[in-house]
Structure 1
């Protein structure tokens, strides 16, 4: 694993903020290999912090192999290592792709318990007061590298049909279907969050690093909620894409998602 992937963030909120801003600009290609960064005094002025803070942020970038200090040239950007095995998902066919992903990648079970769910999750699943859920936290890896942190809540009446060991080795979709659950439809939303400490440690990123956040509620053929998923993805190892087509007439023309390929959906 390259150091640029692991992240060597400095301690301290201000230094970490500067470190993340500069790191993201380098990884996004806004600062190219060979570019010289402004001097410490100029960086301190630009970010409204002290030179000591800038020095600590730069130390983190040096440790990551993203920059190096050269005599006579100052701090120069290095070529970042290419992210290994990035997973790309088509938003229009996300559900079957996530299912296939669960079968083609490996998972590590981090936590497992039966609890009363938070009120928003109970409401999303349509649970009665006092109904418990099985809560499981898993880390999914591709090629031995972590790319997603998954937290699932499944109603106890369904989850009792499989064990902790089953969940550690078998995709949840398959376990639900083995229980006779007929998966019918889902509602999902995608946003972004900053990595909290426990998730950052599991995904091997710095605290506060940006993550793709996907929330999905799955329903059976009778409209009952059977799974609530919160999935957090490393953006350097997972991305969402969508094909768009220009539709409509004259002034009403606009961009619209291209309908999913039925054959691809069935895979």
Structure 2
């Protein structure tokens, strides 16, 4: 299983574009370890940029450990190195894995407040007008490296059961259980977004870097929303995978996810 390395995205839109194109070719196997890259002048011609821009892109790839400069050989592709603390999750059993992740990693509380929820969150949680929520922003780290930025909204009636200090030291799902919340189901979506300045600083990436976006709304048995989570993950430190089997017969054959060892847990970090 290939492990990705920490992203060192260069500043400047042109350098970032060249960097990402070359990085994708290396990580996607189009360029393999030992392959030589064209010279700076040729790369500049191919991408329609200056040699200074090419050097910035190559510096980023070198910082990532994806290339090296060899005397007499030019710039050569290296094998991607292992990234300490990288998280790999199977999409088919994502919920129990996220729960374990919360117990096996550390979190840093960045902000904590009470107030009116944004309209889209109030609607998702099914909250009546005037309901206050607790908003908490946490940074989760693996092996001391930041990999996710978590923003949670919890209805005030539930959140009053634990303190800011509790949230800084205990996974949220544990606090919800302690409050007596019985989770029944959740709705989850995965997309991609670009890092804003605040998030980029926390996750130690460049502004505008691509992030995995996971939004989850958790409900109790009565269908009442008890948690809204907006999670942003560094794609070089968090990866979603899924194993598929070909099932069915004749024209009804289709791909189905392989679900192994699911625990039924529905609440996560």
Aligned counterparts of 2:50 and 2:119: Cα–Cα separation in 1: 44
Confirm or deny that 1:251 pairs with 2:222.
Answer: no
Q: CA deviation at 1:177?
A: 1.2
Residues 6 and 204, structure 1, Cα contact 8 Å, conserved in 2: no
Match of 1:48 in 2: 48
Stretch deviating more after TM superposition (40-49 or 156-165): 40-49
Where in structure 2 are the equivalents of 1:28-47 lying within 5 Å? 28-47=28-47
Where in structure 2 are the equivalents of 1:21-32 lying within 5 Å? 21-32=21-32
Could you say what secondary structure the match of 2:22 adopts? helix
Structure 1: give runs of 5+ residues left out of the alignment: none
Residues 95 and 265, structure 2, Cα contact 8 Å, conserved in 1: no
Aligned counterparts of 2:61 and 2:93: Cα–Cα separation in 1: 37
Aligned counterparts of 1:244 and 1:8: Cα–Cα separation in 2: 33
Match of 1:148 in 2: 148
Match of 2:73 in 1: 73
The aligned length equals: 263
Where in structure 2 are the equivalents of 1:1-267 lying within 5 Å? 5-259=5-259, 261=261, 264-265=263-264
Stretch deviating more after TM superposition (137-146 or 21-30): 21-30
Change (3 A) 1:57 1:226: same
Could you say what secondary structure the match of 1:146 adopts? strand
Q: CA deviation at 1:105?
A: 1.4
Aligned counterparts of 2:33 and 2:201: Cα–Cα separation in 1: 28
Q: CA deviation at 1:88?
A: 2.4
Give deviations 1:141-160, integer Å, cap 9, x for gaps: 12222222111111122111
Give deviations 1:162-210, integer Å, cap 9, x for gaps: 1111001111111111111111100001122233332222222333333
Residues 107 and 141, structure 2, Cα contact 8 Å, conserved in 1: yes
Aligned counterparts of 2:259 and 2:72: Cα–Cα separation in 1: 56
Change (3 A) 1:64 1:255: closer
CA-atom RMSD in angstroms:
2.3
Residues 20 and 209, structure 1, Cα contact 8 Å, conserved in 2: no
Residues 141 and 148, structure 2, Cα contact 8 Å, conserved in 1: yes
Aligned counterparts of 1:257 and 1:142: Cα–Cα separation in 2: 27
Q: CA deviation at 1:26?
A: 2.7
Aligned counterparts of 2:15 and 2:90: Cα–Cα separation in 1: 36
Structure 2: give runs of 5+ residues left out of the alignment: none
Aligned counterparts of 1:5 and 1:258: Cα–Cα separation in 2: 28
What TM-score results when the alignment is normalised by the length of structure 2?
0.87
Could you say what secondary structure the match of 1:167 adopts? helix
Could you say what secondary structure the match of 1:173 adopts? helix
